[in-house]
Homo-oligomer: A and B are copies of this chain.
Amino acid sequence: MTKQTADFSSRALSVRVEDPFWSPYIQLVKDVVIPYQWDALNDLIEGAAPSCAIRNFRIAAGEEQGSFSGMVFQDSDLYKWIEAVGFILEAQPDPELEQVADDVIELLAKAQQPDGYLNTYFTVKEPDSRWTNLAECHELYCAGHLIEAGVAYFQSTGKRRLLDVCCRFADYVDTVFGNEPDKLQGYDGHQEIELALMKLYEVTGEARYLKLSQFFLDERGKQPGFYLQEYRRRGNKVHFPELDIAHDLKYSQAHIPVRQQETAVGHAVRLVYMCTGMAHVAAVTKDEGLIEACRKLWSNIVRKQMYVTGAIGAMAYGEAFTVDYDLPSDTIYGETCASIGLIFFARRMLELEPRSEYAHVLERALYNTVLSGMAKDGKHFFYVNPLEVYPKANPMNKIYEHVKLQRQQWFGCSCCPPNIARLLASLNRYVYTFKENTLYAHLYIGGEARVDLGGQYVTIGQSSGYTEDGRVRFEVQTDQETASFALALRIPEWCRTVQYRVNNVACHPPDEVVDGYARILRDWRSGDTVELQFEMRVHSVAGHPLIRQTAGKIALQRGPFLYCMEEVDNGSNLHLLQITSDKAFQVEYDPHLLGGLHKIVASSVRTEIPSEEDGLYFSDTQWPSSPVQATFIPYYAWGNRGVGEMRVWVNETGIPSVK
């Protein structure tokens, strides 16, 4: 079967990951996460909240009697699982897994209604209420995840069965929504359909899907608002009474048209999914207004509202952004899905314009928050990713109610675990992009890329010690005798010194640095090599002075990893430890620690605790301290050794330099 693809860069470029750090994760997704989540979707995990996702489809397909269970968007968990399977099958054929997926795809097809509609909540529970509560009920959100699954499964297996389900549904949606007077001028309460239709457009070449994506984006935020109209039409019925989605328009970024939005507000995942769709449309249409809106929202997120770990969403209420520079470490939301969405957005921006700042953020979110979201065992997950926990207070003070101290088996709203699975399974799509005759290496993840650079097919092998010793090696294979192209290598923002060797000859500085990429343009021959040595020393990171929560504190970083202190290594009351200003850091590899980790040991002092009788407040007191060595581990690895305190931002002693 011929794959129908438009000129879609990720298909003119194919990448296989083989990396000492990442391959075990991808293997874990295949061997553990996907089977585990399959069990979860089938309600087979003991002690975990039942998903009912597959049961809902069986009921909708008429294979089982019963009523709908779970969240209104429960279908999407299964869609994300199928999408992850699609990505995994692309790299590693597995007929048994493919058969499981094919079978469940048949179930979906059976649950699809004759007109193309597919949503188990409405089909089973509210068949007469289709499209009456877009603001709250995620119909188009679920449709979007279905489409993403269909596209991924088609791209990896070449099978059209699910893609056809998607197209039928999308075609039906196109008859319901649009500018025409007989259609609904509405949009979903949770953005997702926009980015999904763009994928469907690219894989099918159907301009109708592009147009529909544009419609949903441009309709959002128009006044008078759609949510209020439909709210009144359905008699003021509300699905999530604890929120006020129909009126709180900022929550789903429906307060003003998307092109006028300059500040990240509301639900973080919704925003970055929306931006991903906007950037994708902008890349295809070269719509300058949309490009500018993407840049402004990007800039606000990453320059004003992002945690040092790449987490976003400072507030539990509404899982939302708050305001510039308000980044509490302990009451943070920092949903795993939000950082994944930020990665989607970054990747689309890289396709739009290869600038290293997008890849810097992509790396920051990936190596820190996303990895933190899953335990080493592939069976436990964080939804919320705090930068500081204090187990004595966390269970007692309700401002921490949303923060779990340990990764959980599953969640009632379990969007994050399958999101991690599909991201890791598709990691090959984030390593490179190309533009004309330049191949951009955004991530230093080992493996092989095959790419068509203006008609010249080349294969680029990468071996990477990026997470360990900072050594990365590229080897070029050209199909012709030579190939004239540029290799553009991102200079990580954490790295002050890079040594370059081309064909074993030191070459420093490189030809030119463009938008944060060292660009090596030459007539390449098979066997040509480029070696990079990134300086891996430990950095102390300071937050922007306007972040009041990080004032007087530093974080430690080595390579792409932010570090944290844990109670198990440092005793309790981590706030008593202060890094001394001489900043003497030692890096020690511990092969026994969580499968092998580089620890940082830092010269510190520890404030001594007075006796309990001494009181609570003290006049003119200087607390005595003792020198100690503080141990830091990579942030993503925290919480794997039982419940205990953790903190990323640690107090620093020292006098600021006075001018």
Q: Show the binding face of A for B, using Cβ within 8 Å.
A: 302-304, 306, 308, 314-318, 322-324, 326, 328, 331, 390, 392-393, 396-399, 493-494, 496, 539-548, 551-552, 555, 557, 573, 575-576, 578, 581, 605, 607-610, 612-627, 651, 653-659
A322 lies within 8 A of B575 (CB) = no
B residues in contact with A655, CB < 8 Å: 581, 653-655
Contact across chains for B656 and A617 when beta carbons are under 8 A apart:
no
In the complex, the answer to whether B544 meets A315 with C-beta atoms within 8 Å is no
The reply to whether A658 and B626 form a contact with Cβ atoms under 8 Å apart is yes
Chain B residues with CB under 8 Å of A331's CB are 331, 399
- Between A545, A548, A617, A658, the greatest number of chain B beta carbons within 10 A of the residue's beta carbon is seen for A617
Q: Report if A622-B657 is in contact (Cβ < 8 Å); known contacts: A323-B392, A548-B573.
A: yes
The smallest beta-carbon distance between A395 and chain B, in angstroms, is 8
Contact call B399/A315, Cβ cutoff below 8 A: yes
Could you tell me if B616 and A303 are in contact, using CB atoms closer than 8 angstroms?
yes
Contact (Cβ within 8 A) B659 A623: no
CB atoms of B542 and A621 under 8 A apart:
yes
Q: Would A616 and B304 count as touching, CB distance under 8 A?
A: yes
Contacts A605-B658, A625-B656 supplied; 14 other A-B pairs, CB < 8 Å: A303-B612, A399-B399, A493-B619, A496-B619, A541-B618, A544-B609, A544-B614, A545-B609, A551-B607, A581-B655, A622-B657, A627-B658, A653-B654, A653-B655
Instruction: Check B619–A540 contact: CB distance below 8 A.
Output: yes
Determine the chain B residues whose CB is within 8 A of the CB of A316 once the complex forms.
398-399
CB distance from A247 to the nearest CB of B (A): 16
Contact yes or no, B658 A625, CB < 8 A: yes
A618 closest partner in B (C-beta): B542
Please name 9 pairs of A and B residues whose Cβ atoms are closer than 8 Å in the assembled complex, sorted by A.
A303-B612, A304-B616, A316-B398, A317-B399, A331-B399, A399-B399, A545-B623, A552-B651, A555-B617
Do B625 and A659 have beta carbons less than 8 Å apart?
yes
Check if A575 sits within 8 Å of B551, measured CB to CB: yes
Q: Which residues in B have their C-beta under 8 angstroms from that of A314?
A: 397
CB of A620 within 8 A of CB of B322, answer no
Chain B residues within an 8 Å CB radius of A573: 545-546, 548
Chain B residue, CB-CB nearest to A607: B545
User: Judging by beta carbons under 8 Å apart, are B618 and A659 in contact?
Assistant: no
A609, closest chain B residue (CB)? B545
For A557, the chain B residues whose CB sits under 8 A away are 619
User: Are B397 and A322 within 8 A (Cβ)?
Assistant: yes
Indicate if the CB atoms of B617 and A544 lie closer than 8 Å: yes
Structural contact, A540 and B303, CB atoms closer than 8 A: no
Give the distance in Å from the alpha carbon of A545 to the alpha carbon of B610 in the complex. Answer: 8
A112 to B515, CA, bound (A): 81
Which residue, of A546, A557, A607, has the highest number of chain B Cβ atoms within 10 A? A546
How far is the CB of A392 from the nearest CB of chain B, in Å?
A: 6
A15 to B616, CA, bound (A): 32
CB distance from A560 to the nearest CB of B (A): 13
9 nearest CB pairs, A to B: A317-B398, A548-B575, A539-B619, A323-B396, A326-B393, A322-B397, A625-B656, A322-B396, A551-B575
Q: Are A544 and B610 in contact (CB under 8 A)?
A: yes
A542 in contact with B623 (CB, 8 Å): yes
- Contact indicator B656/A624 (Cβ below 8 Å): yes
Chain B residues in 8 Å Cβ range of A545: 573, 576, 607-610, 623
**In the complex, what residues of B have CB within 8 A of residue A552's CB?**
552, 578, 651
Alpha-carbon distance between A551 and B388 when the two chains are bound, in angstroms: 15
Chain B hits for A542, CB < 8 A: 617-618, 621, 623
Closest chain B residue, CB of each to CB of A577:
B551
Is B656 touching A302 in the complex (CB atoms < 8 A)?
no
CB distance from A298 to the nearest CB of B (A): 12
Contacts of A610 in B (CB 8 A): 544-545
CA distance A315 to B400 in the complex (A): 11
Contact between B576 and A551, CB atoms less than 8 A apart:
yes
A537 shortest CB reach to chain B, Å = 9
Whether A609 pairs with B540 at a CB distance below 8 angstroms is no
Q: Chain B residues with Cβ under 8 A from A654's Cβ?
A: 653, 655
CB distance from A35 to the nearest CB of B (A): 38
